[in-house]
Amino acid sequence: MANVAHEPVKQAMNRIRQLSADDEARFLALARECALHDEVSFLNEARREGREQGWQEGRKRASWESCVSK
40 to 31, 35, 43, 45, 53: CA distances (angstroms): 14, 9, 5, 9, 20
Local confidence band at 65 (pLDDT 50, 70, 90 cut-offs):
confident
Q: Does the residue 2 lie in any domain? A: no
Given this model, what pLDDT does residue 1 score? 53
Mean pLDDT, residues 6-32 taken together: 90
Q: Does the residue 62 lie in any domain? A: yes
Given this model, what pLDDT does residue 8 score? 92
Q: Buried b vs exposed e over 12-36: b needs ≥16 C-beta within 10 Å? A: eeeeeeeeeeeeeeeeeeeeeeeee
Residue 15 belongs to domain spanning: 7-68
In the chain, the number of structural domains is: 1
Given this model, what pLDDT does residue 67 score? 78
